[in-house]
Structures are given as C-alpha cells and as structure tokens.
Chains A and B, each alone.
Chain A
Amino acid sequence: MLLQIGKTTLTERMILIRAVEDKLQELCLEGLAGDLHFSRGQEAISVGVCAALRETDYVVTHHRSIAHAIAKGVPLGPLLAEILGKSNGLNNGMAGEMHLSCPEKRFMFSWQLVGTCVPVAAGLAWAVKNYLKTDDIVVVFHGDAAAANGQWHEGVNIAAVQKLPLLLVCENNHVAGNIRSEYYQPVSWVRESLGGYGIQSDIVDGNEVEEVHLAAENAVEWVRTERRPFMLECDTTRLGRHKQGQGDLRTKEELARLAERDPLRNIKVEERQGIEARVRKLVQEALEGA
C-alpha cells in the first residue's frame, strides 16, 4: 500500500532521496562533489516522520541532512546547488550540505557538530510555545551517537524542564563513523537514557516506512496535544559510508546482511527510472549554475 502524501507517495519520496544521493555519490567519485554524508538505508525515517507533520511544523537536524531537507519539501534545485558548493545555492553557498536551512519550508537548522541540534531545537520549541504561541511542534533528528554528547543532554534536560513541544527522532544506526556503539552507548537503546529526564518514548523499525509513519503520527499528535517532549527511536541501518572521504570497516557480509533491511529493497527498477531521469536533469542544472 502506498500512502498518499500530497502528490507523491512515501515510497516515491524515498526513491527521490535515494536517487539524489546516488547521483551525488557519482559526482563525489568524479571529484565534482565534496565529502558528503548520505542517508542510504535510513530514508524511511525522514520520509515517514516528515509526512506526519504539518507544513507549518518545524524541522531541525544534524549533519546527515540531505534526506531531511528533501523530505521536508526544500526545493531541489537550490538544495542541490548548495550541496554542490554553488554560490547560487539555497544558502548562497555558505552552508554546504551540513548547515542547510530553508525557513520558508520550516526546515530551520542543520548543524555539523554532533549534539548542537538538540538545544537549538529546544530553543525553537520554546519560542513556538511561548512566543509565537501556536500549536506547531518542532522535530529534531539526531543520531544514537549524539546521546553521548553533553549538548544532547543539556538540550533534552531543558526541553523536559520547560515542557516543550519537541519530538526527538533518534536515528539509531548503531554506529558513529566506524565506531561501534559499545564505545559510546552504555544501554541498548537511546530511549533508555531518557528515564532520568521523565521523557516518554516509542521505538519502531526505522526501515519500514509505513511503520515509521504510523508511529510518527501518534508521536506528533501526542506532542501537539501534551505540549511536552517525546522520543521516537528508529532502529535503522546506514548502508553507505559515514562520509565519502572515509573508508568503511564493516565487512561485505555485514553490509549484505544490513542490506536485507534496506527500506527500498522491494522497489522495482521501473519505479525508479522516471524519478532518476528527473533527478539527473536537476543535478545537471545545478552543476551548470554559478
């Protein structure tokens, strides 16, 4: 079953993200793009969560930001130009892939430094609740490794103390660069750390887009009604490298095993073709820009 989101389905959006990132990866290999961070294998989270939001809800994210930007509806042309380091890009070539923002689409902030997104998102949520006084919510995406960072804890603590409408979406891919979670995470799931903050949570298979979407709808509704923080932890798999300039220490066998959980594993070639042709055209236009 494909859920209708505007004019595109959830699956189509995931394919779009995959197609954009695959094309960008080609450019990386050709030396035409930089050291990019891709969400291959994690697309169901950004797509499923953003589809559960209103257009007026706010999104904040981390350095692996391309999927979230696309899922929140940031226009592709300027987005690609920015990612490719063009001065006519979304943020005039100042941001690159890791500091993207598009306030018109309420894609407010993404930041390279791990953990920073959480207190910033808490501040946004505070302003939504106490300054703008609307019933919009703020969603912040972060990885499992961010929960080892002080900024994550400071932000989560303030969100809990101030009772902020903040949905924490933890993309738990069980790895930080090439480092396994045994080096940074003392518990099995990040949500276990939230007990001390009195924040409730849910956990979902982050590679099943419809499950993510359903859980996100519930979580979004809860945050909107209760005006308190909530975490949706998504168990997921990063199928590509941490970034293009870094090797991947995982074995082929392990990657093949993870690929069995690829959210796009059942997509037929013909479903991708139309979208890929469109993406190729957009990327070409972006490359030819300033």
Chain B
Amino acid sequence: MVSSVIQRQDQFYRNHKIRDAIGEAIYREMEANPAIYLFGEGAWVKQFYDAPRIYKTFADRIVTLPICEDGSVNFAVGASLLGITAVVDVITADFLYRAMDSICNTAAKLSFLRDTPSTIVIRAEFLTGGPTTGQRPEALFTHIPGLDVIIPSTPRDAYGLMRTALNAPGVTLFFEDRMIRDDLHQETDCRLTEQIGVGYSLVRRSGNVKPDCTVVTYGLMRQMVEQALDPMLNIDLIDLRSIYPLHWMGIAASTRRSKKLLIIEPDIQYGGVGAEIAATIAEKQPDVRVKRLGGWRAVIPAAVEHHQRIIPNEEQIVHAVANW
C-alpha cells in the first residue's frame, strides 16, 4: 500500500499551519494598511473560525457577501477602483470556475487599463470530496495576462508571499493546499519572518556541482517528493512557489548542470504547468532532457482512495527519479 497523499476530510481539516500563516500575514498587513478589506461569501464566519484575531480586531473590514462568486469578484473590483486593497475569498478552488468571467475578463484587465492598478488577492483552497470539490484549476490562470498565481507549500512561504501580494499592484490568485500535512513541516518552514518576493523559487535540496537530476515541483507535491526521496540522492529539488511568474533563472541554473529535468505536479499533467516548463526548457536548453509526472485527466472521485490513484504517489515519484 502506497502512503496516501490525499487525506480524508476529518484529516485535512486538522492542517492549520499554512492557513494560520496566511491569516497572520493578512492580520499584519491589515494593521499596517487601513485600505485592506476582506470580501467573500460568509466572510465573517470564515474569519470567526479561521482567523479570530482578524475577526475581533477588524470586524468592520470584513464584507460578508452572498453565495455569488462571480458577482463578488466584480464587486471587489469596483471597490478597488476607489483605493481598496481587496482580498476575495471564494473558499474552494472549484468555485473559481464560477468566477472565471470576473477574474479573467474584469480583474485581470485592470492593470492594463489604469495608471494606478488595484491590488486584488483572490484566495481559494484545494480539497477533496468529488467531481467539483477537489479540482486544481491553477494552470488555467497562468494563461491569462494580468494574473499572478501563488501556491505556497510551507507556512513560511504562505506568510511571506501573502504579505508581498498584499503590497503589490495587480491581481494575485493565492492557493492554499489543505492536503499539505502539518506534521511534516520542518521547524524552519514554520518561521513567519519576512516578505518573500513573488516569482522566486526555492531550492529545497541541492545536489553536488553535477546533480543527477533537477526535480521541479510545487504545492502538495513538494512535501510528497521530500517524503518520498532519499535525502542522500544527488538531485536539485526546486519548489516553484509561484507558477506565474515562473522563476526561469532558478530552474535553468540547475538544469544547465544536471541536463535532466523532472517536473512533478499535483494537477492534471495535460496542458499543465509542467508542459510550459518542459517546452520552454527544451527550447532554451536543447541539451536538457525533460520528463513529467502529473495527475490523470480525470474527474475527481468522491472516494479518497480513488482520488489518490489519479495523482502521483510516492512509489511513482521514487521510480521516476530512479529511472531518469
């Protein structure tokens, strides 16, 4: 039996550290910037449970809206035109499909039309639970000009990247992966210290001058890969942290030496983030061989056991690295 990466609901709801880090970042920024407001369906209830300090301190800056994701993002766009920095929480990543028009057709266009672009951060979390409760639509947004897409894999990154996003003009999709396990974070990954620049990957493991392989991954798969792979392997392991903008320099600096790239992604492989990285590296560094490991192009099943089968597991990761 391969170890599970997709957790049941009663398990993943115990993962608090990344969520708390995001809450802490927002709290810090709300203290510093009175223009930050939180928008979303059931917003006050979510803050009441998830970020009680925000709820207690900034209750008048939480705008509770009806269940209308598309209208909510457009509403936040309107508020942002008068100087508000908007955090819109659509709750579940699948619900982003309901807000595609307002995100891609309205919000994403603002920075091209305004001299002073607004700051809008759209939050969503990855879950499991069935066909419309477990999808990972992140790659779609990397295709749209005007959007940044952040997927932190540690509390430290979640904190630092959220703080940066709240200070940068433009629209950011900020994903929170509820499948990333609290008990596997290293102590250094939990230090909430500073802002982290968007568009910079992090080298999680370094091989020697000539690594056997460059492994590029993000989000849930970062933790999975670290769990699966022997720490003594001579590989470079890169956590992207933001899938747009991509840290090409970081990837290329490693592949220049390793000549072998393996991209491991938690999302559907077809037309995904890995495809973009593979194609670009193949164009820019023709001597680098590229390989991908990602999810099936399948509907998310309700049963957790089935969900686990359609995204890479530890066995596949070990096999992919060993045979590359």
Contacts from A to B (Cβ < 8 Å) = 60, 91, 94-95, 99, 101, 103, 108-109, 111, 113, 116, 119-128, 131-132, 150-151, 154-155, 157-158, 161
Contacts and interface: CB of A to CB of B under 8 A. Distances in A.
Contacts of B105: 113, 116
A120 B42 CA distance: 19
B10 to A, nearest CB: 34
Contacts of B80: 123
B74 interface: yes
A127 B85 CA distance: 11
A154 B78 contact: no
Contact of A154 (B37, B70, B109, B112): B70
Given A94-B113, A116-B105, A154-B71, A127 B66 contact: no
Nearest to A100: B113
Contacts of A108: 81
A126 B113 CA distance: 22
Interface in B75-113: 75-84, 101-102, 105-106, 109, 112-113
A206 to B, nearest CB: 25
B158 to A, nearest CB: 27
Contacts of A103: 81, 114
A126 B79 contact: yes
Given A101-B113, A157-B66, A122 B78 contact: yes
Contacts of A60: 78
A121 B113 contact: no
Interface of B: 35, 37, 63, 65-66, 68, 70-72, 74-84, 101-102, 105-106, 109, 112-114
Nearest to B107: A120
Contact of B106 (A94, A111, A124, A125): A111
A65 to B, nearest CB: 13
Nearest to A150: B70
18 contacts: A94-B112, A103-B114, A113-B101, A113-B106, A116-B74, A116-B106, A122-B71, A122-B75, A123-B75, A123-B76, A123-B80, A126-B75, A126-B78, A128-B82, A131-B35, A131-B37, A154-B74, A158-B66
Given A116-B102, A154-B68, 13 more contacts: A60-B78, A94-B113, A99-B109, A103-B114, A113-B106, A119-B78, A126-B78, A131-B37, A131-B82, A154-B70, A154-B72, A157-B66, A158-B71
Nearest to A140: B78
B101 A158 contact: no
Contacts of A113: 101, 105-106
A128 B84 CA distance: 11
A68 to B, nearest CB: 16
Contacts of A161: 66
Contacts of A122: 71, 75, 78
Contacts, number: 96
A132 B82 contact: yes
A69 B71 CA distance: 24
A151 B79 contact: no
B71 A119 contact: yes
B84 A109 contact: no
Contacts of A91: 113
**What 7 A-B pairs are tightest by C-beta distance, nearest first?**
A123-B78, A154-B71, A119-B74, A123-B75, A120-B78, A127-B82, A154-B68
A127 B77 contact: no
Nearest to B37: A131
A179 to B, nearest CB: 21
A157 B41 CA distance: 13
Contacts of B72: 119, 154
Contacts of B35: 131
A287 B35 CA distance: 41
A121 B83 CA distance: 14
Contacts of A126: 63, 75, 78-79
B79 A127 contact: yes
Contact of A101 (B71, B101, B114): B114
Contacts of A124: 78-79, 81-82
A20 to B, nearest CB: 22
A167 to B, nearest CB: 14
B96 to A, nearest CB: 16
A158 B101 CA distance: 18
Contact of B74 (A94, A120, A131): A120
A139 to B, nearest CB: 13
Contacts of A158: 65-66, 68, 71, 75
A131 B84 contact: yes
A120 B106 contact: yes
Contacts of B74: 116, 119-120, 123, 151, 154-155
A157 B79 contact: no
Contacts of A111: 106
Q: Find the residue from A94, A103, A157, A158 having the highest chain B CB count within 10 A.
A: A158
